């Protein structure tokens, strides 16, 4: 920890004529710092979502599969980050260097190459983009989005998928699928330039992508043993640790302030900070709306509030507001979130009716509410077009679902993606890892 | 995530004469941004306290009531936020538009109406108060305080109160009781203007309010079955998950930096940031003092340190410093917190002697230490007056306790507030919700 | 919460001649604010690490010792903070007032006296160092490092050490051992001035110090009963709650952004914020590298991934990058972290072979990876010298290990440091504290 003078080096005799430039430069520098700071704060908050997904999933699976779920989450997060560095970042943000397409015509495939940060102790002339933020802060922030996408998948496929094939899929998802489609919007690609698609922080670009990949996986993988009886009954597999699942939800909620707030991409002006404030308030109230809607809906439908629905309702509220957390009023944001909560309450049994087994409800939360949120942009942002929103939902959905389905199928046919029946009944923790999550407690 | 130039639009030929104004405006704008940023950071930290309360309470109740405690906390937080938006915010901060009273004579009842944020992309001329912070950031921050107040109540009444009546009380507490009394001090009402009451971040305005409401509820609701024997013995109901309770305490501690630090309300000057630094350091050391005092006190009294007392001691230290985290020295702050920790160690058995059953110790922590903290302002802040502090403690206490007592009584006489004896013995999780918190572990 | 005008008081008629000074001062003030803000954010993140250590340790010990581990962590953190205030801060940062030595010749023993913060509402003329940051923010940040050092020790010695002797050691560690050796580098002492030792955020100064103290304790205290059989077999004592241990790891990972990022010590220039961004990105990728390396290594060695190794691998990655998180590229940082992860996988069984019983693996993570990280500075920072790095590792190691060993031995010979055999078998929770961590669950 060095300690040295940090003040801008100023010539001792600052001439009067230099003043305008000095004042203006100072303003510019301060904005660069504040923009970068937004990414750093936003980034550690989105990082925190990795812990949220992990706790949520560990709480919602049965105790015999908890160690595996923890292992998967640690591994996928770490892998996603490194793959995003090696491949994803420049695929997603080619800065004009498209492999296929151009900024003008609309890009389709970004640039290949590892991420490179600015040099140590860089000055105003050395930064990549003085009007934006430091590349390191941007990279740090964006990396967390790629990892979040992968986290979504691990929940759905819990309790029966093999570790290593899952990790191979994670590499493809975070290194290719996610960044390529993200470049179409956030890298300035064709969805952005040709369709005017609006997705502020990723209801589609992040959440539905994770959801589509999870859906493809669930179809190829099949439901957990004993989940659906021959008579068509759905056997509940209650989560083993609801405080943990609740903690995970709170963590995700907290992280979402960084997810949506950081996506303003700037904090150096009054307008930007006021916008971030709106985003924070709207993001929060959408989660509240989602939680309350699920509370009321389950009370009405089942005569009993259902905590796991309330948790997923809050998350669905968050996903729903993510495509446009800025333009809604507080009331509108609450309603958008509440609709997301209602979607979850109906979508969970709907998927079960189709025998699509989603261990934690990630498809309703991230895919269905993600689509809803992307459509809801139309209600509050006049710049959104029906064509731009719907076409983009479809294009991204088809791309991600088809590619994911193919990859899952190849994995299934080659290395295999599912543990043996015996191992599944024993539980992945003892069968695959030889390590119980709660060795002192579980009934044996 | 749009990416565009964020620099203040400057005329290409910035004339020399415009410089003073430009430099001054830049300074003003930067202060607005930093003030807003303080609220955003403070806000997500206080948000995090909702998770802290939830984990603390889930850890301190018996395993058969954990799902209910989680459900209550998720629901109360969500409800509090929406009610605060609909009603609380303008009741608390009428900005001069008092329904009863004026800023001059002292206000008694604030304004009615929903909260309205600044427009999207607002400029310096469009913000509500350029010398303060963005309204969205202030709303986000203040909302979390209302929710924290409600969280306090849920702990005390755990393990026997019905969900829906509790939520009705939450609506009244966060929509009316809390904001009305808060307006008396923080909205510039009569406690502030007439009595010169000092309560920096809410030892009285937040914590004792939650505590009074909890006390009224505990009296109307009665103790848990089997808690006090006819022979006058207190039966311990040990918390089911102490790591969770400890985690909750750490989360609350962390959130308190936002709670107290954010209450400086500004970060744009050297004086403000140095003050926030003092507040962070003092808040931290008060918690440390409270924890250590409880450790030593339980060792001396019972020959064994008591972890739940240590946790509550830390929290009591935090509550104690909240009325004045700025003026004490580090040593004084440590002692103020330590006194809070000692209060808890004596108050918990004292309440039991009175057969007032507080499932988590929230009344000692938030009410007793809250009163102590409000009095302690007199020792370090020369602006505090004995009359101002004591009278305000009494006025707020009487108002909140009486109104709460009436509301609880009405709820008791109408919808009923207590679950059946049978349900209480079974546990609220299975009886009311049909969902165990730890289905794989609990002895059955 | 006062609400008042926060804008710099400006004379109404700001003369043109005052402009240069005004613009320059504003820039200076903004930098002071941003530097202080870095410490405040960094500080609450490093605070959060206390929760991380607590959860990690509570998850890795057996359920019969969990309450004790929670109690120890709450107590040590609180004690460390108060001792650091009373003694540590000025010993560590004598600001030239060395008790032995001078800045010029190299200081050896800092100043004695309690920490004193700047006055309330201080102006630019009243701050201790306008070119740095507010003293309160610096104190807050530095205090958390002292506490982290003590946290490392508690893990290693878990499940058999007595509470109070452990706390006495904590006082000596955080009040004397840690700050004295830290002053040699970060206070400008002889390791810094004479040897040019480089340790950016404390691979040696914090982590190896905790590790050496833990190693000394483990040797004096001996292994847990039944851990090593006479036949030389190592009996696994599986951690009782792996989700908790995983949560602890994520918390530590998150806190590390503050730990390393805050150690840049300034955020007021473009160069500083870009550097902090590099540090965040590098810190993160090193943890990812460590986790993945441990995943792959355990898969290859044991044919099964080992979650506790993966967790410790991530932590070892973090420790490894701590001595130099700034100069490496992303690729280098990943490899430095990965090497840390591999070290852990080999070091854990190696320690067991020596019958050195480390309940949570803190010695491999903090000592071995700490040494590795300090050496790794040589690969990426041209200012590092082989002599400076190795000699400093040895000097700090010898000092901390020898003094710790003596203190542990004195404690052993006087008050005793180990619980009785019977108590150890029963578990410290019931034997020493009379309070189970999970009373509703544990098999009895």
CB contacts < 8 A, A to B, total: 240
Whole-number pLDDT of residue B20: 66
CB contacts < 8 A, B to C, total: 241
Closest CA to A428 of A70, A67, A166: A67
Q: Which residues from chain B sit within 8 angstroms of residue A272, using beta carbons? A: 6, 33
**Which DSSP letter does residue B101 get?**
E
Rounded to the nearest angstrom, the minimum Cα separation between B134 and chain C is 13
Query: From the list C41, C270, C291, which residue is nearest A127 (CB)?
Result: C270
DSSP lists the bridge partners of residue A68 as: none
Of all residues in chain C, the one with the smallest CA distance to A29 is C270
Rounded to the nearest angstrom, the minimum Cα separation between C82 and chain A is 23
Residue B415: inside a domain? yes
Q: Give the orientation angle of helix A19-60 with respect to helix A242-262, to 10 degrees.
A: 160
pLDDT-based confidence at B418, cuts 50/70/90? Answer: very high
Q: Which residues are CB-neighbours of B406 under 8 A, at least 6 positions away?
A: none
**Which DSSP letter does residue B224 get?**
P
Task: Report CA C345 to chain centroid distance, whole Å.
Answer: 21
Would you call B100 helix, strand, or coil by DSSP?
A: strand
DSSP lists the bridge partners of residue C100 as: C109
Q: How far apart are CA C322 and CA C332, in angstroms?
A: 13
Average confidence (pLDDT) over C311-334: 98
Contact B81 A285 (CB under 8 A): yes
Range of the domain at A247: 41-71+144-442
Q: Is pLDDT of C82 > 60?
A: yes
Whole-number pLDDT of residue B24: 84
Query: From the list A24, A243, A261, which residue is nearest B14 (CB)?
Result: A24
Whole-number pLDDT of residue A21: 77
**Which DSSP letter does residue A144 get?**
H
Q: Which residues from chain B sit within 8 angstroms of residue C85, using beta carbons? A: 285, 330-331, 334
Quick check: C442 and A439 in contact, CB under 8 A? no
CATH code assigned at B217: 1.10.3430.10
Q: Which residues from chain B sit within 8 angstroms of residue A326, using beta carbons? A: 120
Q: Which residues from chain A sit within 8 angstroms of residue B23, using beta carbons? A: 19, 23
Contact B284 C37 (CB under 8 A): no
Query: From the list A26, A66, A121, which residue is nearest C23 (CB)?
Result: A26
Residue B78: inside a domain? no
Of all residues in chain C, the one with the smallest CA distance to B27 is C26
Rounded to the nearest angstrom, the minimum Cα separation between A105 and chain B is 18
Of all residues in chain A, the one with the smallest CA distance to C324 is A1
Rounded to the nearest angstrom, the minimum Cα separation between C34 and chain B is 9
Q: Mean pLDDT, chain C, as a whole number?
A: 94
Contact A117 C277 (CB under 8 A): yes
Q: Which residues from chain B sit within 8 angstroms of residue A275, using beta carbons? A: 120-121
Q: Which residues from chain C sit within 8 angstroms of residue B329, using beta carbons? A: 116-117
Q: Which residues from chain C sit within 8 angstroms of residue A67, using beta carbons? A: 242, 307
Best B278, B289, B430 member to test C by mutation, with max C CBs in 10 Å, is B278
Instruction: For residue range A244-301, list pLDDT tens digits in order.
Output: 999 999 999 999 999 999 999 999 999 999 999 999 999 999 999 999 999 999 999 9
Query: From the list C63, C273, C334, which residue is nearest A37 (CB)?
Result: C273
Residue A119: inside a domain? no
Q: ipTM greater than 0.85, yes or no? A: yes
More confident residue, B96 or C156: C156
Contact B433 A304 (CB under 8 A): yes
Q: Is pLDDT of B9 > 70?
A: no
Contact C70 B242 (CB under 8 A): yes
Rounded to the nearest angstrom, the minimum Cα separation between C97 and chain B is 22
Instruction: For residue range A91-117, list pLDDT tens digits in order.
Output: 999 999 999 999 888 999 999 999 999
Q: Which residues from chain C sit within 8 angstroms of residue A66, using beta carbons? A: 242-243
Q: Which residues from chain A sit within 8 angstroms of residue B135, using beta carbons? A: 274, 277
Q: Which residues from chain B sit within 8 angstroms of residue A20, using beta carbons? A: 14, 16, 18-19, 22
Q: Which chains touch C (3 or more CB pairs under 8 A)?
A: A, B
pLDDT > 90 fraction of chain C, expressed in percent and rounded: 92
Of all residues in chain A, the one with the smallest CA distance to B136 is A277
Rounded to the nearest angstrom, the minimum Cα separation between B408 and chain C is 30
More confident residue, B262 or C26: B262
Instruction: For residue range B130-152, list pLDDT tens digits in order.
Output: 999 999 999 999 999 999 999 99
Rounded to the nearest angstrom, the minimum Cα separation between C255 and chain A is 9
Q: Which residues from chain B sit within 8 angstroms of residue A249, using beta carbons? A: 74
DSSP string, A99-137: SEEETTTEEEE---S---PPPTT--TTTSS-TTS--HHH
Whole-number pLDDT of residue C12: 33
DSSP string, C373-436: HHHHHHHH-TT--HHHHHHHHHHHHHHHHHHHHHHHHHHHHTT-SB--HHHHHH-HIIIIIS--
0.90 surpassed by pTM: yes
Whole-number pLDDT of residue A25: 86
Measured at the CA of C124, the angle between CA C121 and CA C130, to 5 degrees, comes to 115
Q: Give the orientation angle of helix C386-413 with respect to helix C209-221, to 10 degrees.
A: 40
Q: Which residues from chain C sit within 8 angstroms of residue A141, using beta carbons? A: none
Whole-number pLDDT of residue C276: 98
Of all residues in chain C, the one with the smallest CA distance to B28 is C7
Rounded to the nearest angstrom, the minimum Cα separation between C207 and chain A is 15
Q: Is pLDDT of C381 > 50?
A: yes
Q: How far apart are CA A320 and CA A209, in angstroms?
A: 14
More confident residue, B161 or B441: B161
Contact B22 A23 (CB under 8 A): yes
Quick check: B24 and C22 in contact, CB under 8 A? yes
Rounded to the nearest angstrom, the minimum Cα separation between C215 and chain B is 26
C96-to-B148, B332, B422, C92, C145 alpha-carbon distances in Å: 45, 27, 71, 11, 21
Q: Which residues are CB-neighbours of C353 under 8 A, at least 6 positions away?
A: none
Instruction: For residue range A13-72, list pLDDT tens digits in order.
Output: 344 445 567 888 888 999 999 999 999 999 999 999 999 999 999 999 999 999 999 999
Residue C209: inside a domain? yes
Q: Is pLDDT of B43 > 60?
A: yes
Contact A31 B124 (CB under 8 A): no
Largest CA distance in chain A: 88
Contact A123 C270 (CB under 8 A): yes
Q: Is pLDDT of C7 > 60?
A: no
Contact A280 B43 (CB under 8 A): yes
Whole-number pLDDT of residue B19: 56
Could you tell me what percentage of chain A is helix, strand and coil, using 3-state DSSP and rounding each to the nearest 5? 65, 0, 30
Contact A272 B22 (CB under 8 A): no
Best A144, A438, A442, A444 member to test C by mutation, with max C CBs in 10 Å, is A438
Average confidence (pLDDT) over B246-270: 98
Whole-number pLDDT of residue B26: 87
Rounded to the nearest angstrom, the minimum Cα separation between A50 and chain C is 8
Q: How far apart are CA B320 and CA A265, in angstroms?
A: 39
Whole-number pLDDT of residue A24: 84
Average confidence (pLDDT) over C259-273: 97
Residue B120: inside a domain? no
Best A288, A322, A331 member to test B by mutation, with max B CBs in 10 Å, is A288
Could you count the other beta carbons within 10 Å of the beta carbon of residue C380?
18
Rounded to the nearest angstrom, the minimum Cα separation between A186 and chain B is 6
Best A2, A4, A5, A6 member to test C by mutation, with max C CBs in 10 Å, is A6
Whole-number pLDDT of residue C18: 53
Of all residues in chain A, the one with the smallest CA distance to B39 is A277
Q: Is pLDDT of C122 > 50?
A: yes
Residue C238: inside a domain? yes
Rounded to the nearest angstrom, the minimum Cα separation between A119 and chain C is 8
Of the given ranges (A228-232, B322-326, C294-298, C366-370), which has the lowest mean pLDDT? Answer: A228-232
Contact C269 A8 (CB under 8 A): yes
Contact C331 A124 (CB under 8 A): no
Would you call C230 helix, strand, or coil by DSSP?
A: coil
Closest CA to A53 of A173, A154, A142, A170: A154
What's the domain count of chain C? 1
Q: Which chains touch B (3 or more CB pairs under 8 A)?
A: A, C
């Amino acid at each position: 920890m060095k300690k040295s003078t940090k003040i801008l080096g100023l010539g001792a005799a600052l001439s009067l004529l230099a003043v305008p430039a000095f004042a203006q430069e100072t303003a510019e520098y301060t904005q660069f710092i504040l923009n970068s700071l937004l990414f750093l704060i936003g980034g550690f908050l989105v990082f925190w979502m990795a812990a949220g997904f992990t706790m949520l999933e560990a709480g919602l699976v049965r105790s015999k599969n908890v160690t595996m779920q923890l292992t998967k989450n640690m591994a996928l997060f770490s892998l996603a980050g490194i793959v995003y560095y090696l491949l994803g970042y420049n695929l997603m943000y080619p800065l004009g260097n498209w492999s296929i397409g151009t900024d003008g015509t609309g890009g389709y495939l970004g640039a290949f190459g590892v991420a490179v940060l600015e040099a140590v102790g860089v000055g105003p002339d050395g930064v990549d983009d003085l009007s934006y933020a430091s590349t390191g802060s941007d990279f740090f922030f964006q990396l967390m989005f790629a990892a979040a996408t992968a986290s979504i998948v691990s929940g759905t496929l819990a309790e029966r998928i093999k570790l290593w094939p899952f990790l191979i899929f994670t590499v493809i998802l975070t290194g290719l699928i996610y960044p390529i489609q993200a470049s179409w919007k956030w890298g300035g690609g064709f969805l952005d330039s040709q369709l005017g698609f609006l997705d502020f922080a990723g209801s589609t670009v992040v959440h539905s992508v994770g959801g589509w990949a999870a859906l493809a996986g669930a179809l190829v993988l099949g439901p957990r043993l004993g989940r659906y009886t021959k008579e068509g009954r759905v056997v509940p597999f209650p989560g083993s640790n609801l405080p943990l699942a609740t903690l995970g939800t709170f963590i995700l909620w907290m992280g979402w302030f960084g997810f949506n707030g950081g996506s303003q991409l700037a904090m150096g002006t009054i307008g930007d900070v006021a916008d971030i404030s709106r985003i924070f308030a709207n993001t929060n109230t959408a989660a509240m709306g989602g939680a309350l809607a699920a509370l009321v809906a389950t009370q009405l439908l089942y005569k009993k509030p259902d905590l796991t629905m309330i948790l997923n309702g809050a998350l669905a509220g968050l996903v729903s507001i993510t495509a446009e957390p800025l333009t809604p009023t507080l009331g509108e944001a609450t309603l958008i979130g509440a609709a997301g909560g209602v979607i979850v309450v109906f979508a969970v049994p709907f998927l079960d009716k189709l025998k699509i087994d989603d261990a934690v409800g990630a498809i309703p939360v991230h895919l269905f509410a993600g689509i809803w949120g992307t459509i809801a942009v139309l209600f509050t942002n006049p710049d959104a077009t029906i064509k731009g929103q719907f076409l983009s939902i479809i294009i991204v959905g088809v791309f991600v679902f088809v590619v994911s389905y193919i990859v899952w199928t190849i994995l299934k046919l080659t290395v295999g993606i599912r543990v043996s029946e015996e191992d599944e009944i024993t539980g992945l923790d003892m069968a695959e890892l030889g390590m119980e999550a709660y060795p002192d407690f579980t009934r044996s």
